[in-house]
Amino acid sequence: MIIPAIDLIDGKVVRLYQGDYQQTTEYQYDPIDVVKRYAKAGADVLHIVDLTGAKDTQNRQLSLIKSMVATKLMRFQSGGGIRSRQDVLDLLGAGIERVVVGSKAVTDKEEVARWFEEFGAEHIVLALDINIDERGNKFVATHGWQKDSGVSIESLIQFYQTVGLKHVLCTDISRDGTLKGANESLYGALVNEYPDIDWQASGGIGSLEDINNLKPTRVQGVILGRALLEGRFTLEEAIACWQDE
């Protein structure tokens, strides 16, 4: 499945380069118009990143997110600074189908495990952003990629499998925002090792060829952000490419 992404700061559509708020590109698009355009192009799911809420949970853009969901044009998953049970409740209450949990899943595993048990694994996506060292070790970064947790992605997966983990959005930080192609070998290895998980690949996709190269990995979802906003290809083309056998 092709999953378009939209990053929001103060109601504006933006993109960050490798998670850096100091390297922000703002696009002159209305978020509701983007929802309508992507739905018309054939998207079934939209990935929303609330960057304002990620910095300050008191300023989460819930009213805007509710307005996007209210279009009822597709399904939605959303994250950005999810730190408490109330954050999860607020997004589910806004109509979001899946809440995307990042740093908290690393720093407070027991708490997040309770969310799985309370809300169900179908309603939570783990967002695991990883740095790969020269030995091939895959360590998860936290706090907007500013900290390396020293925790391996494998150990986290194994922990959350005990509470039914179903959805993982994995980003190779070195590729994010670069449009230099996804890390196909990474996703192929993860799908092969954990075939029961629905993997979403994110980071670096800049061409239809990059999408085509991900097919053999058997990931369930491909997140597209900057490439769509900059018109490198259309969402219709991306969906057709993914579906073409």
Q: Residues with catalytic annotation?
A: 7, 129
Beta pairing partners, 74: none
H helix count then E strand count, the chain: 11, 12
Nearest CA-CA partner of 29 in 16, 9, 12, 17 = 12
Strand pairing partners for 172? 130
Contact predicate 94/69, CB 8 Å = yes
Per-residue tokens: 171: 């980003």
Helix residue ranges, H only, the chain: 31-41, 51-55, 62-69, 85-93, 103-107, 109-119, 153-161, 184-193, 208-214, 226-229, 235-243
Q: Which SS3 state, helix, strand or coil, does residue 166 take?
A: coil
Please identify which residue in the block is written with the tokens 């994995």.
Answer: 170
How far apart CA 182 and CA 194 sit, in angstroms, is: 19
- Residue keyed to tokens 């049970």: 85
Q: Do the beta carbons of residue 222 and residue 1 sit within 8 Å?
A: yes
